Amino acid sequence: MSEDTKKDSYEEHISGLTPAELAKALQTFCDKIEFGDAAQLNSCLHCGLCADTCHYYLASGELEALPAYKLNLVSAVFKNQHTRLGKITPALTGAKALDADMVSRWVDSLYGRCSLCGRCALNCTLGINISRLIRLARTTLASVNLVPPELQSTVNTAVDKGNNMGIPRQEWLDTLQWLDEELQQEVSDSAAHLPIDQSDTRLFYTVNPREPKFFPLSLLATAKIFYAAEESWTFSSDYYDVTNYGLFSGDDEASGVISARLRDSMHKLRANTLVLGECGHGYNANRWEAPEWLAGAYGFEVKSILEIIADYIRQGRIKLDPSRNQKRVTLHDPCNLVRLGGIIEEQRFILKRAVSDFVEMYPNRAQNFCCGGGGGQLSMTRFSKRRIEAGKIKAEQIRATGAKIVVAPCHNCVDQLSELNKEYKLGVEIKTVSEMVAEALVIEH
Partner 1 sequence: MSLILLMRLLVVLSAIYCLIALTVLVARTFSFGKWPRYAKAQGSSAKGIVYAFGQGMLPWEKESASKHLPTFFGGIAYHLGIFAALLIPAAGLLQIHLPDIADSVIRILIVIGLVSGIGLLIKRLTLPYMRFISCIDDYVANVLVELLLLSALLATFHLAWCRVMMIVTIVLLLYIPMGKIRHCVFFFYSRILFGKFFGRRGTLPHPSIQD
- Give me the residues that bind partner 1 (CB under 8 A), please: 33-40, 42-53, 63, 66, 68-69, 72, 82, 84-85, 91-94, 121-129, 132, 287-292, 294-298, 302, 338-342, 344-346, 348-349, 352, 365-367
Is the Cβ of residue 151 or residue 390 nearer to partner 1 in the bound state? 390
Is the Cβ of residue 133 or residue 440 nearer to partner 1 in the bound state? 133
Smallest distance from the beta carbon of 340 to partner 1, in angstroms?
7
Is the Cβ of residue 180 or residue 301 nearer to partner 1 in the bound state? 301
Q: What's the distance, CA 191 to chain centroid?
A: 35
Smallest distance from the beta carbon of 288 to partner 1, in angstroms?
5
Smallest distance from the beta carbon of 387 to partner 1, in angstroms?
22
Is the Cβ of residue 275 or residue 380 nearer to partner 1 in the bound state? 275
Query: Exposed, middle or buried, 342 (CB in 10 Å: 0-12/13-18/19+)?
Result: middle
Smallest distance from the beta carbon of 257 to partner 1, in angstroms?
17
- Tally of residues, the chain: 445
Produce one character per residue of 257-287: b if its CB has 16 or more CB atoms within 10 Å, e if not. Answer: bbbebbbebbeebebebbbbbbbbbbbbbbb
Query: Exposed, middle or buried, 336 (CB in 10 Å: 0-12/13-18/19+)?
Result: buried
Is the Cβ of residue 183 or residue 305 nearer to partner 1 in the bound state? 305
Smallest distance from the beta carbon of 134 to partner 1, in angstroms?
15
118 vs 370: CA distance, rounded Å:
9
Is the Cβ of residue 157 or residue 273 nearer to partner 1 in the bound state? 273
CA proximity to 365, closest of 349, 377, 376: 349
Smallest distance from the beta carbon of 157 to partner 1, in angstroms?
26
Q: Please provide the DSSP assignment of 144-213 as one string.
A: TT-S-HHHHHHHHHHHHHSSTT---HHHHHHHHHHHHHHHHHHHT-TT----BS-TT-SEEEEB-THHHH
433 vs 354: CA distance, rounded Å:
9
Smallest distance from the beta carbon of 150 to partner 1, in angstroms?
29
β-bridge pairing 319-320 and 441-442: antiparallel
Q: How many CB atoms lie under 10 A from the CB of residue 69?
A: 20
Is the Cβ of residue 13 or residue 352 nearer to partner 1 in the bound state? 352
Is the Cβ of residue 93 or residue 381 nearer to partner 1 in the bound state? 93
- What pairs with residue 204 in β-bridges? 234, 274
Is the Cβ of residue 26 or residue 223 nearer to partner 1 in the bound state? 26
Smallest distance from the beta carbon of 58 to partner 1, in angstroms?
11
CA proximity to 122, closest of 340, 288, 363: 340
Return all residues near 210 (Cβ < 8 A) that are at least 6 apart. Answer: 165, 411, 415
CA proximity to 108, closest of 152, 153, 177, 62: 62
- Sheet containing 301-304: order of strands: 233-234, 203-206, 273-276, 301-304
Smallest distance from the beta carbon of 368 to partner 1, in angstroms?
11
